[in-house]
Structure 1
């Protein structure tokens, strides 16, 4: 069996974990029938995932946080980037929120209109489909 025998640098490991959340969302959306595109580089546009149903395209930003609770404040790091949807995962738990991108500098994670999900495909898609 393969075994990893080298240490991964802390920043590299964090980037790998963050990318794994993006991959999870990509997989769930593809299984739901969305066309999924991954930008080569998302700096400036803050778009981690681009999805389409054919005629329409939507930009998604995936965030991860160390959650101390669901009333935690989420900072808007996608301001003026044309992002449509934000998916936020609690790294230290098994839940997250999906929400329309907001214009304020910060907002509570459990704000009205933000949909909570357990970290699984069915729960995520149920919350994703509730977005208006």
Structure 2
């Protein structure tokens, strides 16, 4: 049976974990019927995932946070981008939030326009469809 016998550097390990959250979103959206595209390079465009229903395209940014509470304030790093949706996953819990793009420089994660989900496909898609 395969076993990983090498050590993974901590920075690399964090990148692997963060990418795994992006892969979850890709999988869930594909299972929901979306066309999903992954940019070869998203440096400067702040787009991790591009989705389409055919005629329409939407840019998605996926972020992970070490959640201390759901009312923690997040900084808007997407003002100059064309991102439509930001998805936050709590690395140390089983919840996340789906945020439509917003203009303010800061906003609480649990703002009334943000959609909280439990980290599973059914709950994620239920909240994603509410955007």
Fold conserved between structures, TM > 0.5: yes
1:111 paired with 2:108, answer no
Distance in 1 of aligned mates of 2:38 and 2:114:
24
Q: Deviations over 1:95-116 (max 9, x none)?
A: 0000101122221000011000
**3-state DSSP of counterpart to 1:15:** helix
Alignment of 1:1-132 (within 5 A): 1-131=1-131
Structure 1 stretches of 4+ with a deviation exceeding 2 A read none
Q: Deviations over 1:8-34 (max 9, x none)?
A: 111100000000000000000000000
Distance in 2 of aligned mates of 1:124 and 1:21:
12
Alpha-carbon deviation of 1:79?
Answer: 2.1
Larger deviation, residues 97-106 vs 79-88? 97-106
What number of residue pairs does the alignment pair up? 131
Per the normalisation by structure 1, the TM-score is 0.97
Distance in 2 of aligned mates of 1:28 and 1:3:
28
Q: RMSD of aligned C-alpha atoms?
A: 0.7
Larger deviation, residues 76-85 vs 50-59? 76-85
Structure 1: 5+ residue runs without aligned partners? none
Structure 2: 5+ residue runs without aligned partners? none
**3-state DSSP of counterpart to 2:61:** strand
